[in-house]
Amino acid sequence: MAKVSVEHVDLAGKRVFLRVDFNVPLDGARITDDTRITAALPTIRHCLEAGASVILASHLGRPKGKPDPKYSLGPAATRLAELLGRPVPLAPDCIGPEVETAAHALGPGQLLMLENLRFHAEEEHNDEAFAQALAGLAQVYVDDAFAAAHRAHASIEAITRHLHPAVAGLLMARELAALGRIFDKPERPVWAILGGAKVSDKLALVDNLTTKVEGLLIGGGMAFTFLAALGHDIGRSLVEPDRLGAARAVLEQARSAGIPLRLPVDVVVAAGIESTTALRTVGVREIPSDLMGLDIGPATVGQFAASLKGAGTVIWNGPMGVFEKEPFAAGTLGVARAVSECGGFSVIGGGDTIAAVQQAGVTSRIGYISTAGGAFLEFLEGRVLPGVAALDEA
């Protein structure tokens, strides 16, 4: 986890290839959430103030390896220019003679944004020749895209074989420090909260966490597969029948390890996501056969909050219900408040979880909010992240 930071590299007069994650949501050409752009600002400013010229590179969406105007990084360049108060020219491509000329012509304190890396299929194929072409644009490699660190792509992994030093940006360094704090020397007890729709997305995570934490709280749609594995009638609630055996194995593993794995004791049920009038709260043994669970109930929120009292570290990923629908948001918002009041170091990750914390108005009381989704989960699963492994060791 200990990687060289951009703060420890002499950047004066150097061209820096700065891999950022500007994979932002768009409504046409309008960016609807610029969080990932603002998160990269400290590293961009650091490089410019250190006397470097900066070549920004990112992917956006899934353009299937060929140019597609709707996935252009033009809106990101425009928004970044507004935030920096200076022009951010967009190159016509990310490789090629015209791009090389523009990159090599940059002076200290100047910026150039490359066009979408995924306009070339070679990016996702981790192609060596493509990576070498990218590396030829600069003299220093800085990776500030932790959210993409689980991808072995050319601008993330292969490029580091052709461009050195290869160091962590300020955002990357903060992510590694916060996530390292979870497992390297965590303040105990450690509790993890997992939600979201599918057990299949989280089985490897649950398996790894049972060896790392003192307790697990499980809500969201995934909880119903565990409840079904225990023999509960869950009505029309979301369930993955092919994962019932795996869920039983996880429950047994937690029991054998002496790790409390707590499931909902009550749920909010309705006929469907759009049926917001005839909803009610029932115990998990009383779910009507014609209804589905769409949120955890107040008794569960109370039990989960009580479990977190005195926690030294709390890790949270995934909502407790269909929280984007107001009638089914109370459980997730209640857990967000409980995490903020636990007194320990809290780390959250995943877009829905971040949105819930913001909606609950407790963002300032969370220890660390990870910008990553898939990379956050893969780290918690104990996997090696290619984009982290590729950077120079401190």
Q: Residue 133 falls within a domain, yes or no?
A: yes
In angstroms, rounded to a whole number, what is the distance separating the alpha carbons of residues 371 and 351? 8
Q: Residue 281 falls within a domain, yes or no?
A: yes
| Residue 148 and residue 203 in one domain | no
| Residue 214 and residue 154 in one domain | no
10 Å CB burial of residue 22 (0-12, 13-18, 19+) is buried
Q: Supply the range of the domain harboring residue 353.
A: 186-380
| Residue 230 and residue 108 in one domain | no
- CA atoms within 13 Å, Cβ hemisphere of 190: 18
Query: Considering 116, 142, 173, which residue would you say is the last residue of a domain?
Result: 173
Q: Residue 180 falls within a domain, yes or no?
A: no
Choosing from 3, 15, 36, 79, the catalytic residue is 36
| Residue 321 and residue 342 in one domain | yes
Choosing from 109, 180, 374, 382, the catalytic residue is 374
Q: Which of 125-139, 304-318, 355-369, 374-388 has the lowest mean pLDDT?
A: 374-388
Q: Is 3 a catalytic residue?
A: no
Choosing from 45, 181, 198, 248, the catalytic residue is 198
Q: Is 36 a catalytic residue?
A: yes
Q: Is 243 a catalytic residue?
A: no
Q: How confident is the model at residue 87 (pLDDT cuts 50, 70, 90)?
A: very high
Q: Is the dihedral of CA 63, 70, 374, 389 positive or negative?
A: positive
Q: What is the CATH number of the domain that holds 43?
A: 3.40.50.1260
Chain centroid to CA 220: how far?
Answer: 18
pLDDT tens track for 318-375? 999 999 999 999 999 999 999 999 999 999 988 889 989 999 999 999 999 987 878 8
| Residue 146 and residue 117 in one domain | yes
Q: How confident is the model at residue 377 (pLDDT cuts 50, 70, 90)?
A: confident
Nearest to 209 by CA among 253, 243, 146, 147: 253
Query: Considering 173, 197, 229, which residue would you say is the last residue of a domain?
Result: 173
pTM: 0.87
Q: Residue 314 falls within a domain, yes or no?
A: yes
| Residue 325 and residue 219 in one domain | yes
- The DSSP code for 294 is E
Contact 215, 189 (CB under 8 A): yes
Choosing from 51, 61, 312, 351, the catalytic residue is 351
| Residue 211 and residue 263 in one domain | yes
How many domains, the chain? 2
- CA atoms within 13 Å, Cβ hemisphere of 148: 25
